[in-house]
Structure 1
């Protein structure tokens, strides 16, 4: 208890907490986009429940992994050597998750391209997907993102209470943001392709990280933010054109 009070009185600890919370929220964006896209393929009555379950699974996994920090640290040690390159368990997990994300994003992009005519009819775009299948796919990515998130947390601070608070705060933000993000993506079909493009980039980044090529996250998120800004401008232009057409018809 005394150690917690000492930690709470330390300004450096608060700075570390704030930095780590922001970092965990940023890292959680990838997870949140995937959950939103996948849940939108379900009947509307099931979406909120699947979103909450997926995010709560992410929280449970992160807290469980925090309880095994010593084991998590060992994941960065070389485990196998293939073609003269040493891979750690973390590398293999990132490779597997990256390949899964690339496959999922490309299959979804192909579906939207092949069924471009059906996109106009929302009812026909819903692929048959059960809630359990969606939760299973979310769980796979939760594992990948959780390992990456916890290793990042361990590298930023040595204080376990700070890690726990940061993870809980970040997942709480995800919990509140999931439903609005899902509705926004559902209402704007063009955003779906942009989000799938984000997932494709994230998947390739995970693969590169798995092969030992560090890709600065700042570059990735800056590119994503710029793309989102351009798409927002396109949405404003389409809305203005739509209003002009309505005015002209009147």
Structure 2
């Protein structure tokens, strides 16, 4: 079915490594979402929930890669909307619909989690923790996996034209994410400020998806740089809070 001779070309290996790295970067938001919603499960089910969530993400990505012609077809307008102030009709595609509702779901879910955190419902003393069922959490993960899979696959199609390389890159990236998903989940959920920052990232990503649904493309490099910069600042704040004494900056005039 697949031509393995493609790997005799060094460029194929470069493409594989590049795409694997890109898939890992694009999968970070997927891991963050899964880490947060899985925390709603009974502790004994959380590892299982993360594994199922990432395996579903892998299956969705491979399935979409094997249906590239259908993916390309989703970019074709299903119907047009007449906008009075615009000089042309707005063509609504299948991709637009998926991104729009996926973005709204991500915004709504993240906002609900922030509200719960601010109200202190998770830390209420003298109450029995209310855990969600595994089925309910998996359904939420499926919804967001579908949305993030489209973003991931569209990036893959834009970088590589060989389906075998795409599938291998997705499998390798998912293997890396599964290996570190437990550490990421523990770190996010043990640090309230990091969890709040992660939820804010998800709201930003949800807004980006909605804007893309309206054909307003945002350079993802800016989004990921803002996320990285905010994370670094918060890590510095966490380190400062752990120190017994404040850090005093030196003034070179008195050296």
Please report the TM-score for the alignment, with normalisation by the length of structure 2. 0.88
Q: For the Cα contact (< 8 Å) 2:116–2:122, is it kept in 1?
A: no
Aligned to 1:228, which of 227, 231, 234? Answer: 231
Once residues 18 and 123 of structure 1 are traced to their aligned partners in structure 2, the CA distance between those partners, rounded to angstroms, is 51
Partner of 2:99: 94
Q: What secondary structure sits across from 2:243 in the alignment? A: helix
Cα deviation code 1:186-225 (max 9, x no counterpart)? 2211111011001001100111111101111110000000
RMSD: 2.2
Please state if 1:129 is matched with 2:128: no
Once residues 114 and 224 of structure 2 are traced to their aligned partners in structure 1, the CA distance between those partners, rounded to angstroms, is 21
Q: For the Cα contact (< 8 Å) 1:58–1:143, is it kept in 2?
A: yes
Once residues 142 and 20 of structure 2 are traced to their aligned partners in structure 1, the CA distance between those partners, rounded to angstroms, is 22
Cα deviation code 1:23-56 (max 9, x no counterpart)? 1111111110000000111111010000000000
Partner of 1:17: 16
Report the Cα offset of residue 120 of structure 1: 5.0
Please report the TM-score for the alignment, with normalisation by the length of structure 1. 0.90
Q: Which 10-residue stretch deviates more, 106-115 or 230-239?
A: 106-115
Structure 2: tracts of 5 or more residues without a match:
84-88, 247-255
Once residues 38 and 135 of structure 1 are traced to their aligned partners in structure 2, the CA distance between those partners, rounded to angstroms, is 9
Q: Which 10-residue stretch deviates more, 234-243 or 69-78?
A: 234-243
Partner of 1:148: 151
Q: Which 10-residue stretch deviates more, 80-89 or 11-20?
A: 80-89
Partner of 1:248: none
Q: For the Cα contact (< 8 Å) 2:42–2:131, is it kept in 1?
A: no
Greater share of helix = 1
Partner of 2:162: 159
Q: What secondary structure sits across from 2:244 in the alignment? A: helix
Partner of 1:109: 114
Partner of 2:250: none
Structure 1: tracts of 5 or more residues without a match:
244-250
Report the Cα offset of residue 72 of structure 1: 1.0
Report the Cα offset of residue 121 of structure 1: 5.6
Cα deviation code 1:65-106 (max 9, x no counterpart)? 111111111111112223431121111111111000000011
